[in-house]
Structure 1
Amino acid sequence: MDRRFEAVSHPRRQNQLEKVVERLGLSTRTPIAWQLLDLALTHPSVSTEKNYEQLEFVGDSVVRLAASELLFETYPDAPVGEFAAVRSVLVSDRVLAEIADGYGLGRYLLVAGSAVRDKMGEESRLADCFEAVLGALYLSTNTLELVRPWLDSNLLDRAKEIFDDPARQNYKAALQEWTQSNYKLLPKYEVEETGYAGDEARFTAQVWFKGEKLGQGTGRSIKAAEQAAAREAFLSVGGDRV
């Protein structure tokens, strides 16, 4: 038997991994590469050699393939350019971190040292871990049979929202395209830390254009706050009709 499919040596950790599998709606009797799943939930701060980095590399391709198959099946008449735009959002750190957080993967991720206190890097860490989990599940069967049954439902609703959104949920890019095409100028952002670490409104961003404040928004990260401000600005200039 492939040693990857053996239970991990620590019963408590094995129990945690089984809870992760159950949260995903999978049976623990399914052939799971437990050793790989353990690595997928181990941050490099814990071990520089045995961590999720290689599995994250695999999982990056896995989530793109899963999203591509789903979009192809659900929107067979959509042009390739639309597929690419929607998929880029579906596989973004923001979306993957949201899905990971929904399944509570963060509580099973082994993290050590300063990484524990790095709240600003939490989104990226969750997204990386999520891709690694996908990589471990894919390598358990070398198919998407342990991935798509639960991942599809997470992507479908988001895909519909993105298709219905003229900005494709990338409001910074959409606003920049609007200002450049109309005025050959770029908007400017000002960001302040107005909350505490872990707060959903930790940062407040304002977007200015030609001396006028077009929008303001808050977010857990600087990037999220800027996107929120850009969304308000984009809609205020009629972006919903673009």
Structure 2
Amino acid sequence: MSRVYPRRQRQLESLVQKLGLSPKIPVKWELLDLALTHPTVSETANYEQLEFVGDAVVRLVAAVVLWEHYPDCSVGDFAAIRSVLVSDRILCQLAKEYGLELYLLVAGSATADIVGQESRLADAFEAVLGAFYLSTHNLELIRPWLDPHFQRLAAEIRLDPARLNYKAALQEWTQAQFKVLPEYRVMEIGQPQQTQERFFAEVWLHEQMLGQGKGRSIKAAEQAAAKIAYLTVTEQE
């Protein structure tokens, strides 16, 4: 395992404090450092294996939170809500709330790859959870700060007929109504240094434009357009 140098140690301690944890927690700093190392930095010493562990951890935390707070929900509802909670979109959103991109070591062309940032941050977020879990072999370093996010998001998802995933909801609607999928037309409208909303998307159905949206990534722009489209067609019903 690689050594964590003093400057990097201070960075990792800063992140831990942002999560509301004490720097004196029993975390294995070498694992946390590895969790925040992209494969472009090292082909062998990177976050990929920790991400694999973290993928299971985040699904477990989401399941436990739902079981504790919504005991009357069906298993089907549990699965639907959890799929949103552990999606790249939500995990990237949480990663950004804690400024995880400031601690993630990335090299080469990936440093300027805004399009791949969502999946990169989601992967790193899962890897951090994997590092925390393997440090203690329990969830004591995770649930104190992740539970409140999942509780809030789960409540929003349950109240939202689209479950915060408007692309999926619109696709279900178009398939049910017309047995076809909506078409997304995306164009780049700015360079990474110039604007946070780099992409513009339109969603079309039967040669009719249903919605438009902008976003930092193609997925975000499509999601924004799908939200407008879904709200429009469901209101018309």
Deviation string, structure 1 residues 51-96 (Cα, Å, up to 9, x no partner): 1110000000000000100011111111111111111111111111
Residues 141/240 of structure 1: CA separation in 2 closer, same or farther (3 Å cut): farther
Count residues with an aligned counterpart.
236
1:221 is matched with which residue: 210, 217, 232?
217
Residues 136/186 of structure 1: CA separation in 2 closer, same or farther (3 Å cut): same
CA distance in 1, matches of 2:156, 2:190: 29
The match for 2:233 is 237
1:124 to 2:119 alignment = yes
Report how far residue 219 of structure 1 moved.
1.0
Greater displacement, 55-64 / 222-231:
222-231
Greater displacement, 148-157 / 195-204:
195-204
1:86 is matched with which residue: 81, 86, 94?
81
What does residue range 1-242 of structure 1 map to in structure 2 within 5 Å?
8-197=3-192, 199-238=195-234
Amino acid of the residue matched to residue 147 of structure 1?
I
Greater displacement, 153-162 / 37-46:
153-162
Deviation string, structure 1 residues 98-129 (Cα, Å, up to 9, x no partner): 11111111111111111111111111111111
Secondary structure at the aligned position of 1:237 is classed as helix
Residues 37/9 of structure 1: CA separation in 2 closer, same or farther (3 Å cut): closer
Q: If the length of structure 1 is used for normalisation, what is the TM-score? A: 0.93
Q: 1:41·1:109 contact (CA, 8 Å) conserved in 2?
A: yes
Residues 179/38 of structure 1: CA separation in 2 closer, same or farther (3 Å cut): same
Amino acid of the residue matched to residue 197 of structure 2?
A
Q: If the length of structure 2 is used for normalisation, what is the TM-score? A: 0.95
Q: 2:4·2:29 contact (CA, 8 Å) conserved in 1?
A: no
Report percent identity of matched pairs. 62
Q: 1:59·1:134 contact (CA, 8 Å) conserved in 2?
A: yes
CA distance in 2, matches of 1:9, 1:191: 42
Report how far residue 185 of structure 1 moved.
2.3
Q: 1:166·1:240 contact (CA, 8 Å) conserved in 2?
A: no
CA distance in 1, matches of 2:175, 2:8: 53
RMSD: 1.7
Q: 1:8·1:14 contact (CA, 8 Å) conserved in 2?
A: no
CA distance in 2, matches of 1:148, 1:56: 17
CA distance in 1, matches of 2:89, 2:235: 22
Q: 1:179·1:187 contact (CA, 8 Å) conserved in 2?
A: yes
CA distance in 2, matches of 1:54, 1:187: 36
Report how far residue 181 of structure 1 moved.
1.3
Amino acid of the residue matched to residue 183 of structure 1?
F
> Which blocks of at least 5 consecutive residues in structure 2 are unaligned?
none
Q: 2:41·2:105 contact (CA, 8 Å) conserved in 1?
A: yes
Report how far residue 239 of structure 1 moved.
6.0
Greater displacement, 43-52 / 183-192:
183-192
Report how far residue 224 of structure 1 moved.
1.2
Report how far residue 209 of structure 1 moved.
1.1
Report how far residue 135 of structure 1 moved.
0.3
